[in-house]
Amino acid sequence: MILVNNPGSWGNIYAPLEHAEWNGCTPTDLVFPFFLFIVGVAIVYAMGSKKLDIASHNKTILRALKRGLTLFGLGLFLAFFPRNFATFDFVESLKTIRIFGVLQRIGVVFFISSVIFLKFSEKGIFRTLVIVLFAYWALMLFVPVPGLGYANLEKETNLAAWLDRTILTEAHLWKSAKTWDPEGILSTLPAIGTGLFGVLVGIYLRKKEVEPGTKISWLFSVGVLAVAAGLLWDLEFPINKSLWTSSYVLYSGGLATIGLALCYWLIDVNRYNRFTKPFVIYGVNAITVFFVAGLAPRLINMIKIVQPDGEKMGALTAFYQKFFVPYFSPINASLAYAIFIVLFFYVILWVMYKKNIIIKV
């Protein structure tokens, strides 16, 4: 997402690095659900030993709540942080701050998935996932939208958009849309389903009595079946990231399961791990780099560089205009700049990794 979120120019982006306009799914649309999926898997490994110790549940849940609230707070901070201190108005910013967002959704999904993992049996978690997916499908396709009179899946008139406008108000929604939010209230329900998908895969992957070969076969099979089910459900309930439709949960969860099975076979079973170091370096501080990558460009662009024509330009924008635009086509200049940002943060993370600096949220 650092690559996706930091193009040199938003008007020059290769299609795979953009989100689908509405229905459909691009590679970029898989990043967020893959992350929530692996959060679910990680919950099992982090809390597996505590699941049977019922006496420790309250303490574990409180820690999960603290982590969830921290993530939510970091997301609010990013939404609140000004792009220009000179025009910053604290009171007005509070009136228009976006309440939900990526980090907020991660926090909510992490906490609720943690509680469900601790308190429910494996069958109970599976049933909860099924109920969540079908309940959301029924709500979106069969509940009439108040003031409209019928159910629909259009951007501004679907039930999720109506609920966000009613509870959060338009002032606190995603500023690019203003009338709906891709990380809104109702669509967080199936996002929790993505986390539970990962929890179920994590439970199976952690079973010591199952041979690695059997695990790989089952994971690949489940992944393929989930993808097929998602594509079939897409015929009635389209795959859509902004709505986080139930078909999208199955489709992305299936692909994530296939990807995890492939990594497990390649890295854990066959011990082929020479290529993994860059991913580990990014992965151990994933939330940190995501947060900083959202914050740093705003801070740097507050530094204004005076151009030959007298125009004042943000420092990062001026850097892009001077070192990338003259040497590439517009779309390749934009991509080259995004790659530079990824590599820039990689160097910082590499130093942190070498010094064993891991910032845990």
> Where in the chain are the domains?
22-272, 274-361
What is the percent of the chain where pLDDT is above 90?
Answer: 88
Separation between Cα atoms, residue 356 and residue 284, nearest integer Å? 10
CA angle at 254 for the pair 284 and 235, rounded to the nearest 5°: 135
Separation between Cα atoms, residue 35 and residue 284, nearest integer Å? 13
Give the contacts of 131 (CB within 8 A, at least 6 positions apart): none
List, for residues 242-296, the tens digit of each pLDDT value: 999 999 999 999 999 999 999 999 999 999 998 999 999 999 999 999 999 999 9
Whether the per-residue pLDDT at 309 is higher than 80: the answer is: no
Report the SS3 class of residue 264. Answer: helix
Report the SS3 class of residue 25. Answer: coil
pLDDT on residue 89: 80
What is the percent of the chain where pLDDT is above 70?
Answer: 99
List, for residues 120-173, the tens digit of each pLDDT value: 999 999 999 999 999 999 999 999 999 999 999 999 999 999 999 999 999 999
pLDDT on residue 93: 85
CA distances from 149 to 34, 135, 142, 145, 245 (A): 35, 20, 11, 6, 21
Joined together, the tokens standing for residue 26 give 């691009």
- Residue position matching structure tokens 């907020």: 104
Q: Which is it for strands 312-314 and 304-306: parallel, antiparallel or unpaired?
A: antiparallel
Q: Is 194 left (phi over 0), alpha (psi -120 to 50) or beta?
A: alpha
List, for residues 83-125, the tens digit of each pLDDT value: 767 677 888 888 899 999 999 999 999 999 999 999 999 999 9
- Tell me how far apart the terminal alpha carbons of the chain are, to the nearest angstrom: 19
- Residue position matching structure tokens 């949960």: 249
More confident residue, 82 or 129: 129
**Average pLDDT estimate for 239-243:** 98
Mean predicted lDDT score pLDDT of the chain: 94
Predicted model pTM = 0.94
Q: Are 219 and 59 in contact (CB under 8 A)?
A: no
